């Protein structure tokens, strides 16, 4: 079976972790600070705060910005649950708006309409599958309405919009280093910002609200990253540009091979954006049969995401059951992610292309 995802970990990662273990400093320590500095420099922000997960980074971002009960936060329903759950963690209310059917990212006109609500205090955009959102229109909306912009870059390490890396457009951005991401620390996350006050609050929140040792001035959590994870991250960050080039190369190969398959829609690649293809996600109408065809022939796949958030049981219980977001609902029925990771061989890519192309001959 050709796996959908596979972390690429080698001797350098093993030695980095072994070195961290030998020092005896395995909780948050010097490697965490080094990783924070290196990642902030790579993305292009002043401050970085490492966290235990991407979810933790989102939660801390909202808390650091003062989002709380009574506030409303616009976001997409077509994403992993952590994006909206972090809003609930703060006692605030997610406001789901529909996606653009081409990019599958938030629709700027839908965002602009929802932002007219005076209770809206923030917007979380998700650069889904590694494709940047239309940031020019998004930034114009938040500037006009005076609302906070948070970029959820969990799937977009190194992606760029008009030559500028995602994670630098918002007041705050967050990243995930989960095992299947473009780079990994096993579990882990990062909050980035150019705002010194937000960075300071975030650093206290991840350490039980302590600005000084044993002086807890606000509610906080144990959201710290370990030096073991940071050791992995420092090595993976050096490899990230090569990983992303391989993903783009693999995606270009597959899109070229899929030309002429009218029943299949390949991922977009707008001229003003540099995607990093965390997922290579196609759209098909008869997904169940298509997935069965792939599995029977040894090609792994994933469905991200089969149920939009406003249709999830939790959010139905919270009163979102009557919300209608047709583009998100349609996408959830049609998307299929194919392997695109850097570990694929030329033979793997050939097999994936042949199996997909043969589907109409063996429905």
Q: What is the pLDDT of residues 43-91, one digit of tens each?
A: 999 999 999 999 999 999 999 999 999 999 999 999 999 999 999 999 9
Residue 250 pLDDT: 98
What are the CA-CA distances from residue 234 to residues 8, 32, 70, 221, 356 (Å)?
A: 14, 9, 39, 24, 37
Residue 137 pLDDT: 97
Tokens 């990243």 sit on residue: 175
Q: Flag whether pLDDT at 359 surpasses 80.
A: yes
pLDDT tens, residue by residue, 184-202 = 999 999 999 999 999 999 9
Residue 197 pLDDT: 98
Instruction: Give the span between the Cα atoms of 314 and 308, in whole angstroms.
Output: 11
Handedness of CA 102, 332, 162, 245 (dihedral sign): negative
Which domains, and CATH codes, for the chain?
A: 11-235 (3.40.640.10), 240-361 (3.90.1150.10)
Instruction: Give the span between the Cα atoms of 178 and 38, in whole angstroms.
Output: 18
pLDDT tens, residue by residue, 313-336 = 999 999 999 999 999 999 999 999
Torsion-angle region of residue 186: left (phi > 0), alpha (psi -120 to 50) or beta? left
**Residues 6 or more apart in contact with residue 256 via CB below 8 angstroms:** none
Instruction: Give the span between the Cα atoms of 188 and 153, in whole angstroms.
Output: 13
Residue 119 pLDDT: 98
Residue 222 burial (CB count, 10 A):
10
pLDDT tens, residue by residue, 252-307 = 999 999 999 999 999 999 999 999 999 999 999 999 999 999 999 999 999 999 99
Q: What is the mean pLDDT of residues 31-44?
A: 98
Instruction: Give the span between the Cα atoms of 228 and 10, in whole angstroms.
Output: 15
91 contacts 68 by C-beta, under 8 angstroms: yes
User: Taking the model in full, what pTM does it have?
Assistant: 0.97
* CA-closest candidate to residue 325, choices 306, 313, 311: 311
201 contacts 63 by C-beta, under 8 angstroms: yes
On the 0-12 / 13-18 / 19+ scale of CB atoms within 10 A, 26 is middle
Q: Flag whether pLDDT at 360 surpasses 90.
A: no
* CA-closest candidate to residue 305, choices 296, 317, 297, 315: 315
DSSP-assigned letter for residue 317:
I
Q: What is the mean pLDDT of residues 147-170?
A: 98
On the 0-12 / 13-18 / 19+ scale of CB atoms within 10 A, 69 is exposed
On the 0-12 / 13-18 / 19+ scale of CB atoms within 10 A, 65 is buried
pLDDT tens, residue by residue, 235-251 = 999 999 999 999 999 99
121 contacts 67 by C-beta, under 8 angstroms: yes
Assign 362 a pLDDT band (cuts: 50, 70, 90). Answer: low
Residue 171 pLDDT: 98
Instruction: Give the span between the Cα atoms of 278 and 269, in whole angstroms.
Output: 13
Q: What is the mean pLDDT of residues 211-216?
A: 92
Assign 25 a pLDDT band (cuts: 50, 70, 90). Answer: confident
pLDDT tens, residue by residue, 117-146 = 999 999 999 999 999 999 999 999 999 999
Q: Flag whether pLDDT at 361 surpasses 90.
A: no
Prior bond of 44 cis (ω within 30°) = no
């Amino acid at each position: 079976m050709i796996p959908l995802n596979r972390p690429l970990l080698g001797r350098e990662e093993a030695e980095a972790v072994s070195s961290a273990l030998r020092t005896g400093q395995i909780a948050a320590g010097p490697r965490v600070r080094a990783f924070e500095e290196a990642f902030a420099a790579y993305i292009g922000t002043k401050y970085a705060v490492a966290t235990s997960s991407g979810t933790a980074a989102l939660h801390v971002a909202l808390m650091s910005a003062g989002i709380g009960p009574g506030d409303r936060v616009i976001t997409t329903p077509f994403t992993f649950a952590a994006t909206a759950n972090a809003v609930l963690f703060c006692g605030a209310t997610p406001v789901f708006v529909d996606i653009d059917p081409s990019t599958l990212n938030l629709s700027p006109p839908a965002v602009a309409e929802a932002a007219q609500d005076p209770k809206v205090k923030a917007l979380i955009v998700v650069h889904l599958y590694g494709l940047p959102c239309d940031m020019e229109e998004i930034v114009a909306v938040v500037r006009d309405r005076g609302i906070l912009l948070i970029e959820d870059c969990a799937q977009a390490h190194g992606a760029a919009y008009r030559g500028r890396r995602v994670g630098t457009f918002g007041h705050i951005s967050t990243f995930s280093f989960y095992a299947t991401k473009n780079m990994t620390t096993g579990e882990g996350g990062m909050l980035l910002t150019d705002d010194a006050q937000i960075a300071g609050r975030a650093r206290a929140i991840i350490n039980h609200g302590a600005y000084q040792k044993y002086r807890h001035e606000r509610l906080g959590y144990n959201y710290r990253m370990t030096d073991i994870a940071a050791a992995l991250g420092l090595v993976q960050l050096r490899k990230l540009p090569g990983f992303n080039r391989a993903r783009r190369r693999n995606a270009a190969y597959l899109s070229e091979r899929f030309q002429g398959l009218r029943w299949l829609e390949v991922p977009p690649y707008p001229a003003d954006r540099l995607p990093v293809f965390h997922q290579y996600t196609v759209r098909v109408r008869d997904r169940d049969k298509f997935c069965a065809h792939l599995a029977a022939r040894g090609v792994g796949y994933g469905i991200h995401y089969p149920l939009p958030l406003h249709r999830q049981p939790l959010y139905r219980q919270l009163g979102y059951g009557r919300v209608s977001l047709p583009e998100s609902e349609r996408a959830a029925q049609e998307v299929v992610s194919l392997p695109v990771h850097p570990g694929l061989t030329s033979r793997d890519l050939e097999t994936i292309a042949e199996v997909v192309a043969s589907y109409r001959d063996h429905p």
